[in-house]
Structure 1
């Protein structure tokens, strides 16, 4: 299992938005893109997908931009990835007749791996991701002093 570029960019953008969440002011695409080194046009597409999925909301006008739709501690990484990548868990459960006994065993193990990964992703919120990042920044600062 690998994190797609699309998901990584989206999580970076959401992390930036979580950092500025307390201000209550929307962030513009160019702000987020500059801070996280994400191409503007690609970020625009990602944010549109996240908006349709209820992860972010947009605000129009001169002071417009994007905001998290909920508090950072209420948005899990699993919700973000399911919004972007879709959930293929149901497709695996719907397979009635595997091709062979060997295929069935492999499918069972793959299903278990997916459930374990989803469990970890469900455990972490944007707030926790932000806190982990902040604590690592503190360690880096302390290391250089």
Structure 2
């Protein structure tokens, strides 16, 4: 499994929104895109998808922008990545053209790997990412005399 640019950009934008969750005004796309070097139009498309999935809300107008629809501690990484990539396990069975014992074993192992990866994504929230970022930034601060 690999983290796509789409999911990575979305998570960067959502961390930004989570950081400013208590701010009264929404964050504008151009602010987020400039800070994280994400193309404006692409970010707008990602946020529109996340809005349709109920992860962010938007406000129109000259002071419009985006903000989280729920508290950062209630939005898991699974919610985000699933909204963009579709991680929900499919009800389909293994590929019928590979009807061998070996292919069944491979399919079962792949299903287990997907299940465990999804469990990890469900374990972490946007709040967790913000806390990890803050802890890392504190650790990186050096004082000079």
How does the TM-score come out when normalised to structure 1? 0.93
Partners of 2:24 and 2:115 lie apart in 1 by 35
Q: In the alignment, which residue of structure 2 is the partner of 1:139?
A: 139
User: Following superposition of structure 1 onto structure 2, how do residues 24-43 of structure 1 map, counting pairs within 5 Å?
Assistant: 24-43=24-43
Structure 1's unaligned 5+ residue stretches are none
Superposition pairs of residues 63-142 of structure 1, within 5 angstroms: 63-90=63-90, 93-95=91-93, 97=96, 99-142=99-142
How big is the shift at 1:100? Answer: 1.4
Q: Tell me how far apart the structure 2 counterparts of residues 129 and 87 of structure 1 sit (CA, whole Å).
A: 20
**Partner of residue 53, structure 1:** 53
What is the CA distance between 1:77 and its match in structure 2?
0.1
SS of the equivalent of 1:62 reads: coil
By how many angstroms is 1:87 displaced? 2.5
SS in 1 for 2:3: coil
Question: For the residues of structure 1 that align with 2:35 and 2:99, how far apart are their CA atoms?
Answer: 49
Give 1:99 deviation, angstroms.
2.0
Can you list the C-alpha shifts for 1:33-68, whole angstroms capped at 9, x where unaligned? 011111111101100110111110101122210010
Deviation at 1:118, TM superposition (A): 0.7
Deviation at 1:88, TM superposition (A): 4.8
Task: Tell me, yes or no, if the aligned pair for 1:16 and 1:36 is still in contact at 8 Å.
Answer: no
Distance in 1 between residues matched to 2:21 and 2:72, nearest whole Å: 8
In angstroms, what is the RMSD of aligned CA positions? 1.4
Partners of 2:88 and 2:21 lie apart in 1 by 31
